[in-house]
Structure 1
Amino acid sequence: MSQKEALMLADELVTQTIMNNSEDTIYFKNLESVFILNSKAHANQFNEKDPRDMLGKSDYDYFPAEFVDVAIKDERSIIESGEPVLGRIERWDKPNGETIWFQAYKYPLYDKQGNIIGTWGTSRNITPLMEAEEELKRLNIQLREANKRLENLSIRDSLSGLYNHRHFFNTLEELDHRLERYGHSYAIILLDVDNFKIVNDTHGHLFGDSVIQWVSNLINRSTRLEDLCYRIGGDEFGIILQDGNLENARLAANKLCTMARENTIQEDGHTANITFSLGVASSDEIKGAKNVYELADQRMYVSKASGKNQVN
């Protein structure tokens, strides 16, 4: 056997080995996008017993038309430009409802004179990888939602559903920083339920819990969407008007006072008339979140000492 014959035989053996054993699909097409050579894996993909059974056929014999139209467009571009299409992700929705994902590489096919006589390509089934990525995305969404729920639990009071003591003072600090940087003032309202201990002792702790929830609902109904509502502790509540001033705070506090007077809580045969003592303060009056809070707190206690059911 001559050296030339040996080389030709080696080329043929290499081609056969690759075409018969590659797990990736391999195909060759002519200028009309008709198959002229196919690997065993490519034939198996379409349940063809022999790769030769695919000769003379095209993608239209195996794939949906909309899928093939995109492939044909790629092949026309490759033939005209000589530029390959590399790493294209393709999706095949099979008639049985199964979805197959491929990563495809497509190249121009040359003859010995360097003329483009068709295309050839290889594709790898990456369905497990895509499914794993989709599952990872789903799990990440679940994790973000869980973290959001946990974060919400950490800043919420479980009985009232309002923001808690920790969130109240953190927010005041943030508003102080905003005030220093942008000059945006804020105001706060502190609210104490009048005679709550008497109500609690008279009607029991379960009714006391109902009062806390009733007050929380009243606060939510009477405030603006941009206002932040808190249960600071026990029967003390707070409202932060993020872009408010002292006048805004007084109006909101008087509205709360009036609504409480005009409503009665009734629960499980128990009835109570609830009133509030309120204090308001603004960052326009005094600097520092701690000082604004203490000023509102002092005024709330003035309201209690002056007969309750009022705003100061």
Structure 2
Amino acid sequence: MANKDNEASAFEACVLSQTKIIETIMENSQDTIYFKDKDSRFLFNSRAHVCQFGLEDPRALIGKSDYDLYPRDFAESARRDEEEIMRTGKPIIGRIERWIKDNGEVVWFSASKYPLYDDDGQILGTWGTTRDITDLKKAEKELELVNREYEALNTKLKELSVIDELSGLYNRRHFYDTLSKTMKIFSRVRGRGYASSFSLVLIDIDDFKYINDEYGHVFGDIAIRHVSQLLRAQTRLSDYVFRYGGDEYAIILPDTDIKGAKELGERLRKTIASTPLTRDGKDITLKISVGTATYDEQVDAMDIVQQADQKLYEAKNNGKNQVC
């Protein structure tokens, strides 16, 4: 008799324990928990589930469906999920869903949905849990914005590392990198039987020291920017224009022979000479000397620079304001 009493007490304790566990979970879980019948009507709800609708009593949603709580498209999507779960017996785990409340507030949550079985193993509905991940989504969005800002800053820093601040043209360091890459490209092209080449133009502003001494360094900077803008305007998008030194410039001309390089040099010389600067009502004409060279597969980067520099020296030595 005592054994039977002990067994009954153990059974009651187990039942009470299970009931208490369920009650504790449904009352205190921060994740929402719900149970639905085959028609998607709520049978049982956790307190967290009803609280998200501004309700307090978990019984308040019994008999209602998602159509009573959510926008129609959201409710229809949920109903399709539940029909599929009841048909296949397969759960949906960790789906990310978005709910836009009537007040415009956006709520993100991770939803898991499961088949609900009776004691005979027959599906009588569905049940599910949702976890509010709105703060996480906001953090992800903020991180995404920070990453975009970082990428933009990184791009800007890369640009600044190859751009001359005064002229806005590429700088001397980028000149040598670009020249080396260009030589490799055209070396491969010529190795395949194409007679393509490129040319280099070096430019120096004539008597720039006099301009600085006579009109001041501020005006000298204006002259640098002025010439830079004219060079960029007179060259192709495929050309590379650099500020090579203080008053020196370099232009790499893809697919251009020596004749084309000299023609460009002459056009630049005339354009700059015919576009004076004005200071105190007085026109100040700038002039340039130009040296040219064309790539030969037998030379390296320094050779072609020296060839163009030698031609620039000849232009200077022969009276300036000319192309060699």
TM-score class normalised by the smaller sequence: over 0.9
Which residue of 61, 65, 80 maps to 1:58?
Answer: 65
> Using a 3 Å threshold, how does the CA distance of structure 1 residues 41 and 273 change in structure 2: closer, same or farther?
same
The structural deviation recorded for 1:27 is 0.6
The structural deviation recorded for 1:244 is 3.3
- Code of the residue aligned with 2:299 in structure 1: it is K
Which residue of 1, 12, 17 maps to 2:19?
Answer: 12
Extract unaligned runs of 5+ from structure 1: none
Identity, in percent, stands at 46
| 1:78 matched to 2:88 | no
Which residue of 214, 238, 243 maps to 2:250?
Answer: 238
What does residue range 251-290 of structure 1 map to in structure 2 within 5 Å?
Answer: 251-284=263-296, 286-290=298-302
- Following the alignment from structure 1 to structure 2, what is the Cα–Cα distance between the partners of residues 298 and 97? 72
> Using a 3 Å threshold, how does the CA distance of structure 1 residues 243 and 62 change in structure 2: closer, same or farther?
farther
2:231 alignment counterpart: 219
**RMSD in angstroms over aligned alpha carbons?**
1.7
The structural deviation recorded for 1:286 is 4.7
Residue deviations 1:226-285 (CA, integer Å, cap 9, x gap): 211111111101111244333332232222112122221214434211121111112236
- Code of the residue aligned with 1:76 in structure 2: it is E
How many residues align? The count is 312
TM-score under structure 1 length normalisation: 0.94
| 1:103 matched to 2:105 | no
- Following the alignment from structure 1 to structure 2, what is the Cα–Cα distance between the partners of residues 91 and 250? 65
Extract unaligned runs of 5+ from structure 2: 1-7, 191-195
Q: CA contact under 8 A between 1:155 and 1:163: conserved in structure 2?
A: yes
> Using a 3 Å threshold, how does the CA distance of structure 1 residues 268 and 91 change in structure 2: closer, same or farther?
farther
The structural deviation recorded for 1:36 is 0.6
> Using a 3 Å threshold, how does the CA distance of structure 1 residues 268 and 134 change in structure 2: closer, same or farther?
farther
What does residue range 159-174 of structure 1 map to in structure 2 within 5 Å?
Answer: 159-174=166-181
Q: CA contact under 8 A between 1:189 and 1:278: conserved in structure 2?
A: yes
Q: CA contact under 8 A between 2:243 and 2:249: conserved in structure 1?
A: yes
The structural deviation recorded for 1:34 is 0.9
- Following the alignment from structure 1 to structure 2, what is the Cα–Cα distance between the partners of residues 297 and 285? 18
Moved more, 296-305 or 169-178: 169-178
For the pair shown, the structure with the greater C-alpha radius of gyration is: 2
Moved more, 263-272 or 235-244: 263-272
The structural deviation recorded for 1:41 is 0.6
TM-score under structure 2 length normalisation: 0.91
> Using a 3 Å threshold, how does the CA distance of structure 1 residues 182 and 11 change in structure 2: closer, same or farther?
farther
> Using a 3 Å threshold, how does the CA distance of structure 1 residues 65 and 176 change in structure 2: closer, same or farther?
same
> Using a 3 Å threshold, how does the CA distance of structure 1 residues 4 and 285 change in structure 2: closer, same or farther?
closer
- Following the alignment from structure 1 to structure 2, what is the Cα–Cα distance between the partners of residues 13 and 292? 88
- Code of the residue aligned with 1:198 in structure 2: it is Y
- Following the alignment from structure 1 to structure 2, what is the Cα–Cα distance between the partners of residues 267 and 5? 103
| 1:31 matched to 2:38 | yes
Moved more, 109-118 or 259-268: 259-268
Q: Could you say what secondary structure the match of 1:119 adopts?
A: strand
Q: Could you say what secondary structure the match of 1:43 adopts?
A: helix
- Code of the residue aligned with 1:119 in structure 2: it is T
Q: Could you say what secondary structure the match of 1:254 adopts?
A: helix
> Using a 3 Å threshold, how does the CA distance of structure 1 residues 66 and 251 change in structure 2: closer, same or farther?
farther
The structural deviation recorded for 1:13 is 1.9
> Using a 3 Å threshold, how does the CA distance of structure 1 residues 267 and 98 change in structure 2: closer, same or farther?
farther
- Following the alignment from structure 1 to structure 2, what is the Cα–Cα distance between the partners of residues 33 and 149? 55
What does residue range 136-147 of structure 1 map to in structure 2 within 5 Å?
Answer: 136-147=143-154
| 1:186 matched to 2:193 | no
Q: CA contact under 8 A between 2:187 and 2:297: conserved in structure 1?
A: no
Residue deviations 1:125-183 (CA, integer Å, cap 9, x gap): 11111111111111011111111222222211111111111111111122233334444
Residue deviations 1:14-61 (CA, integer Å, cap 9, x gap): 211111111100111111111111101101111111010000111122
Q: CA contact under 8 A between 1:207 and 1:270: conserved in structure 2?
A: no
The structural deviation recorded for 1:10 is 2.7
1:310 alignment counterpart: 322
- Following the alignment from structure 1 to structure 2, what is the Cα–Cα distance between the partners of residues 100 and 193? 64
Q: Could you say what secondary structure the match of 1:124 adopts?
A: strand
- Following the alignment from structure 1 to structure 2, what is the Cα–Cα distance between the partners of residues 244 and 93? 61
> Using a 3 Å threshold, how does the CA distance of structure 1 residues 93 and 195 change in structure 2: closer, same or farther?
same
- Following the alignment from structure 1 to structure 2, what is the Cα–Cα distance between the partners of residues 89 and 35? 21
- Following the alignment from structure 1 to structure 2, what is the Cα–Cα distance between the partners of residues 25 and 245? 75
- Code of the residue aligned with 1:235 in structure 2: it is D
Q: CA contact under 8 A between 1:222 and 1:256: conserved in structure 2?
A: yes
- Code of the residue aligned with 1:240 in structure 2: it is I
